[in-house]
Amino acid sequence: MHRSESIARLSEILQASRRAVVFTGAGISTESGIPDYRSPGGVWSKYRPIDFEAFVTSEDARREYWQRKFDTHETVMQAKPNRGHQAVAQLVREGKVVAVITQNIDGLHQASGVPRERVIELHGNTTYAHCLGCGDEYDLEPIRRSFQAGGTLPVCQACGGLVKTATISFGQAMPQEEMRRATAAARACDFFLAVGSSLKVYPAAGLPVLAKQAGARLVILNREQTDLDDLAELVIYGEIGPTLEAALDR
Ligand code: NAD
């Protein structure tokens, strides 16, 4: 299908929808300068992930974890929402989109003006840290300073537990409340728009399937094929910012 025809169809589906959900992956943030995981040049062309088990059992793994974190920290902290985030925020402001479910950990949906209570972060947030024992939250800046000055690994000042970025690593349990909210939103929406995700990481990638089974229309916007393209009524292969902006301008 021609690009302008796809955009017109997306625009029509948006207009017909009353309670849409937008589901985002790392692809929505590449236009803000944060690499995704699976594209060439993405994080996984450089590193293998450190899973949760390794983090909690090995001091070497924790050292490597924090080293990697601070190698990319500036990029994430300086990133600004792009046209894709702005378009999603506009749809939320207009009352068209009732929830933004994101696999991203960069906080850019909130930074673009989507109220916190409308953003469901399935994989946590990398802009702060917390204790794995008692949940106390920590700013990253003091952790960075002591790590870079003397190699100190952070432990909780309240309970002595391990401190980790507030993200969900491979092998770590999904956050229950966020999964509950995301599942409910997927079941209740009339339109599910999946944007910038390879749809390979489960259980997150089960949500478009759930929405479709519950009767929602499903559209996928990504620059390359995803694992769920066959399920969608419309698949748009394109860049996220320009495509969403064009769909909203119609
Ligand atoms: P992914 O890397 O598996 O998939 C991203 C997809 O987006 C790819 O298919 C890629 O082709 C596409 N894409 C990239 N830039 C695009 C653009 N400008 N326009 C259109 N398509 C574009 O990412 P995922 O599906 O989110 O899953 C991987 C995991 O990565 C998630 O769990 C997430 O927590 C984590 N992650 C998050 C960030 C972030 O917070 N910004 C960055 C990297 C990875």
Q: Is the CB of 29 under 6 A from ligand 1?
A: yes
73 is catalytic: no
Within 8 A by CB and 6+ apart from 235, the residues are: 219, 220, 221, 222, 225, 226, 229
- Segment 170-181 shows an average pLDDT of 96
Predicted local distance difference test score (pLDDT) of residue 3? 87
CA atoms in the 13 A half-sphere facing the CB of 80: 2
Q: What is the mean pLDDT of residues 35-60?
A: 83
- If you take atom 13 of ligand 1, which residue's CA is the nearest one? 27
Compute the distance from residue 150 Cα to the ligand 1 centre, in Å.
Answer: 33
Q: What is the mean pLDDT of the chain?
A: 95
Q: Which atom of ligand 1 is nearest to the CA of 37?
A: 2
pLDDT tens per residue, range 93-137:
999 999 999 999 999 999 999 999 999 999 999 999 999 999 999
Say how far apart CA 201 and CA 167 lie, in whole Å.
15
**C-alpha of residue 10 to centroid of ligand 1, in Å:** 21
Q: Which helix (H) or strand (E) holds 167?
A: strand 163-167
Q: What is the largest CA-CA distance in the chain?
A: 58
- pLDDT band at 37, cuts 50/70/90? confident
pLDDT score recorded for residue 250 = 81
Predicted TM-score (pTM) of the model is: 0.94
Is residue 25 in contact with ligand 1, taking CB distance under 6 Å?
yes
Which residue in the block uniquely carries the two structure tokens 């997150």?
Answer: 204
pLDDT of residue 181 exceeding 90, the answer is yes
For residue 74, how far is the Cα from the chain centroid?
Answer: 18
CB-CB contact of 31 with 240 (8 Å) = yes
Strands 124-131 and 163-167, by their bridges, are antiparallel
Q: So what's the pLDDT on residue 22? A: 98
pLDDT tier at 162, thresholds 50, 70, 90: very high
